[in-house]
Amino acid sequence: MTASPRELLAALTPQPEKVAAYAGDTYLLETVEQLDRLGVDAAKFARQHSMLLLKPDAIVARSVEPTLEWLADNGFQVVSAVRVAVDRHFARALWYYAWNIASPERRRLADLLVGISDVLVLVVRGDDAELPVPVRLTEAKGATDPRKRKPGELRHLLGRHSYLLNLVHSPDDPADVLRELAVYLDEPRRAKVIAEATAAADRSADALALASDLYSRTPARSFDRTDAVQRILRDLETTAPELDPLSDADCARLLTGAWAEGRELDPWSVIVLGSYVLPMRVGTQPQTLRPVSAKDWLEERP
């Protein structure tokens, strides 16, 4: 490794706070050290590649095929595809620097979500003289908040579900690419993915085959709030005539009351309803690291 972690990171993120945080981050260091041993330029790799995580909600929504079409139409080539088993620790590792603002309810829903299905990780590459691939992909993917999504963006195409059920995730900038690669994969699997990525052959067929297997193990479900309420009421064996299914407060009390009583509920229905009616953020506490935008990259990078 010719450059120190701090020197490398200074070229890969516009955020001094991220440089300080990631310089000692085990995940990032694992990837950088492995790329160095393999003779791959870490900075170049991180600028030319990104990852797109299709979360369990994307598998339930059968979103792999439209995602692959969108990637191809927007100048991104899938160069590796891998299925990854996930659990509550995976979610905390991936969003470690952002989840300090997540509400307890959001964390509980996320823990249920990772139990729904394995995930699909696509490694993509592209060429852009102005923006690194991860910055361009994040910008084109669209906002987490459904109200801010625009036609042409991936999340808008896949459907306006909710803040939590946003279907896909990608690294904000090249520094995140290096860190998240080690969150997703252990060293042997990373070596295979790095080799496929640097070979630059199209791997869309691999992604489709993995999607088919995931679909066979994970039923398609409704994202409709009313359907979720009806299923939860059936699980509770009550009609709850006093419940207004359109009232966020009523539905939130339904969920928190069932949780307090330790009732067994259909996880998917809890995720869907909770994503509409439960708080996602805690107060005004700032994020450990704020999201990076294309504007940040163009105007603030040292």
Q: Model confidence over 190-203: pLDDT tens digits?
A: 999 999 999 999 99
Alpha helices in the chain (DSSP H): 5-10, 16-22, 26-37, 42-48, 56-60, 64-73, 88-94, 104-113, 133-141, 154-158, 174-184, 187-199, 204-217, 225-236, 248-260, 267-277, 294-300
Task: Record the tokens describing residue 9, joined without a space.
Answer: 């990171």
Same domain, 78 and 187: yes
| Residue 100 · residue 43 · CB < 8 Å | no
Same domain, 273 and 159: no
Residue 302 lies in a domain: no
Same domain, 207 and 231: no
Prediction pTM value: 0.94
Residue 297 lies in a domain: no
By the 10 Å C-beta count (0-12 exposed, 13-18 middle, 19+ buried), 95 is classed as middle
Return the ∠ at Cα 161 (arms to 245 and 218), rounded to 5°.
Answer: 100
Residue 291 lies in a domain: no
Q: Which domain holds residue 119?
A: 5-219
Res. 301: pLDDT tops 70: no
Separation CA 247–CA 176 (nearest Å): 39
pLDDT given for residue 173 in this prediction: 96
Q: Model confidence over 86-136: pLDDT tens digits?
A: 999 999 999 999 888 999 999 999 999 999 999 999 999 987 668 999 999
Same domain, 163 and 230: no
Same domain, 203 and 140: yes
Task: Record the tokens describing residue 45, joined without a space.
Answer: 């790799």
Same domain, 19 and 109: yes
Buried b (16+ CB within 10 A) or exposed e, 96-117: bbebeebeebbebbbebbbebb
Q: Model confidence over 1-52: pLDDT tens digits?
A: 468 999 999 999 999 999 999 999 999 999 999 999 999 999 999 999 999 9
Last residue of a domain, one of 200, 219, 238: 219
Residue 111 lies in a domain: yes
Q: pLDDT over 70 for what percent of the chain?
A: 97
Q: Model confidence over 248-274: pLDDT tens digits?
A: 999 999 999 999 999 999 999 999 999
Same domain, 60 and 153: yes
pLDDT given for residue 300 in this prediction: 63
Residue 296 lies in a domain: no
Separation CA 45–CA 35 (nearest Å): 9
User: Number of folded domains in the chain?
Assistant: 2
Measured from the Cβ of residue 87, the count of other Cβ atoms closer than 10 Å reads 11
Measured from the Cβ of residue 222, the count of other Cβ atoms closer than 10 Å reads 14
Same domain, 151 and 260: no
Pairing type for strands 49-54 and 119-125 reads antiparallel
Provide the pLDDT confidence category of residue 152 given band limits of 50, 70 and 90: very high
The torsion region of residue 179 among left (phi > 0), alpha (psi -120 to 50) and beta comes to alpha
Same domain, 182 and 107: yes
Res. 146: pLDDT tops 60: yes
pLDDT given for residue 298 in this prediction: 80
Residue 202 lies in a domain: yes
| Residue 284 · residue 119 · CB < 8 Å | no
Buried b (16+ CB within 10 A) or exposed e, 61-76: bebbeebbebbeebeb
* Overall size of the chain counted in residues: 302
Residue 34 is part of a domain; what is its CATH number? 3.30.70.141
Same domain, 41 and 157: yes
Does the CA dihedral 9-14-20-26 come out positive or negative?
negative
Res. 154: pLDDT tops 90: yes
| Residue 161 · residue 167 · CB < 8 Å | yes
pLDDT given for residue 299 in this prediction: 75
Residue 197 lies in a domain: yes
| Unique residue bearing structure tokens 């899938």 | 78
Q: Model confidence over 222-251: pLDDT tens digits?
A: 999 999 999 999 999 988 778 898 999 999
Least confident of 85-99, 157-171, 228-242, 285-299: 285-299
Same domain, 158 and 267: no
Residue 77: its H or E element: strand 77-84
Residue 261 lies in a domain: yes
Same domain, 180 and 54: yes
Q: Tell me the three state secondary structure of residue 83.
A: strand
CA 68 from centre of chain: 16
Measured from the Cβ of residue 85, the count of other Cβ atoms closer than 10 Å reads 9
